[in-house]
Amino acid sequence: MNRVVLVIFFALFFGAVFTNCDSKLVDLEVIKENEVITVPGDTVNHFKVVMEDGVAKFYKNGEPFFIRGTGGRFQNVRAASYGANAFRTWNTSSARRDLDTAKMCGTYLMMGIRLSHDIDDYRSETYKNEEREKISQLVDTYKNDPHLMIWCVGNETNLHANIPEMWEFINELAGMIKEKDANHPVATAISHSRPALDSIAKYAPNIDVVGFQSYGAIHRMKEVFALSQYKGAYIVSEWGPNGHWENGFTLWGAPIESSSETKRVHYETRYTDFILNNDRCIGSFVFLWGPMQKRTPTWYSMFVESSATHPRIQGLPLSGEATPGVESMEKVWTNAEPKERAPVVEGITMNGRLVNQTELFQGGAVVRAVVSAFDPRGYRMTFYWEILKEATQFSTDGEIRPDRVGNVVTGASTDQDIRVPDTPGNYRLFVYVLNGRGMVGTSNIPFQVGSATSSQVNQTK
């Protein structure tokens, strides 16, 4: 076997094993999940959270460390090349691979430990004993990994199980972890909530740092912490554009999504104004560094889907392009202009009407759609339009992409004739604007056909 064949073989092999790290390779033997290992030449890093006169400080081996993090397991090498130094997960389903990804990318992991959102589980010794055993084994397995940074016990458990027994159990688990591992702080992640902060202060003093998840209300975050009984450090463990529960609704109840240009501004200003400029904040994890269907395929996605891996988007020629939110993070992490710019997309009209002004279209009508878009560096743009049914099945995690109605329409200009569906119902018209540089701008507009009834959209997080 010649050298070229060997290079191809190892590239394919490690590319399959470490898909999150794109094309970087490393000489690691295949490791079984949950196997305790020590990599030669690597040492355990000591991370510590300290409060000094009301100012939070985070240290790695005694040196200041500010978390420039991403949420998710996608495009980690790209994130690192833009200045990211950490990523977070929400479960331990691929803990070994996540830590190997961090090693390859030269970053660190906040390992999420999933806990139940069922309030009854926290009154069940059976459930709690199972979690004690699983988490004890988890800590023993990974506590000496050089790329572990923080343990995060639970994610937004305050939304559905906000009782003293839940907080007391989180406190117990945090104490157990710290007895086994003195090198890595323990966090818990909560939704934007002052009562949850008060509960942590009262029932969970073993928590070293709080993960706080805030979107459109991030401008009130400092005030919430100042008024709460919790006086410790925090990480903004999820943040991004306005959430689907806080951006307004159509007259029939469909949430109104911001354009990709509005999101770009939000990513940049929210980071500089509310994360960097914050004495008690030790960093953040931007959400979501990858594609995700939640209310729409684009609402939280900092990268769009790929038709090569997503069968439900066949006919829509996307390849995981980066949205303007990615260029925002590159800019704030590196203090330099981004290498590439996405098309600037500011919104769609249908027959000249903006969102919430759209008429009730008759089935099969042809509508003139116009998108406000330009490319800031003058590259030629291609426009892809599709109509999806309005989402009606919801989950706290990812959801199933709604069905497409009709075919994808391709154009070379900002205006396009679109035939609406024949069947009455609630729909959304999407546009993806690509510039051939691996970047995409997006927008969508909800509309109705025929005698549709109010959408069943859940208006809460």
For 387-441, how does the pLDDT look when each residue is reduced to its tens digit (9 = 90+)? 999 999 998 777 999 999 999 999 999 999 999 999 999 999 999 999 999 999 9
Report how many domains make up the chain: 2
Q: What is this structure's pTM?
A: 0.89
- Shared domain check, 350 and 201: no
Q: Per-residue pLDDT for 151 more than 70?
A: yes
Residue 168, pLDDT > 50, answer: yes
What are the angstrom distances between the C-alpha of 376 and each of 340, 346, 350, 372, 441? 10, 13, 24, 13, 11
Residue 284 lies in a domain: no
**Greatest alpha-carbon span in the chain:** 68
Query: The domain that contains 150 carries what CATH number?
Result: 3.20.20.80
Quote the CA–CA distance of 107 and 85 in Å, as a whole number: 5
Is residue 307 situated within a structural domain? no
In a domain, residue 106? The reply is yes
How confident is the model over 42-48, as a mean pLDDT?
92
- Residue whose C-alpha is closest to residue 420's, from 457, 448, 444: 448
Cα separation, 87 vs 211, in Å, equals 13
CA distances from 166 to 32, 203, 205, 207 (A): 33, 9, 13, 13
Does the pLDDT at position 200 exceed 80? yes
Burial class of residue 57, CB neighbours in 10 A (0-12, 13-18, 19+): middle
Answer whether residue 118 shows pLDDT above 80: yes
| Within a domain: 313 | no
Query: Of 238, 255, 276, which residue constitutes the final position of a domain?
Result: 238
Q: Can you tell me the mean pLDDT for 197-201?
A: 98
301 membership: H or E segment, kind and range: none
Q: Check if the beta carbon of residue 240 is closer than 8 Å to that of residue 263.
A: yes
Q: What is the 3-state secondary structure (H, E, C) of 187-201?
A: EEEEECCHHHHHHHH
- Rounded CA-CA distance 12/354 in Å is 48
Q: Strand 425-434 relative to strand 415-419: parallel, antiparallel, unpaired?
A: unpaired
Residues 6+ apart with CB under 8 A from 402: 388, 389, 390, 391, 392, 428
CATH number of residue 400's parent domain: 2.60.40.1930
Residue 6 preceded by cis peptide, ω within 30: no
Task: Give CA–CA dist 58/193, Å, rounded.
Answer: 23
Domain boundary pick from 238, 268, 294: 238
pLDDT digits (tens, 9 = 90+) for 212-250: 999 999 999 999 999 999 999 999 999 999 999 999 999
Cβ–Cβ < 8 Å for 328, 267: yes
Please state the φ and ψ torsions of residue 143, each to the nearest 5 degrees: -65, -20
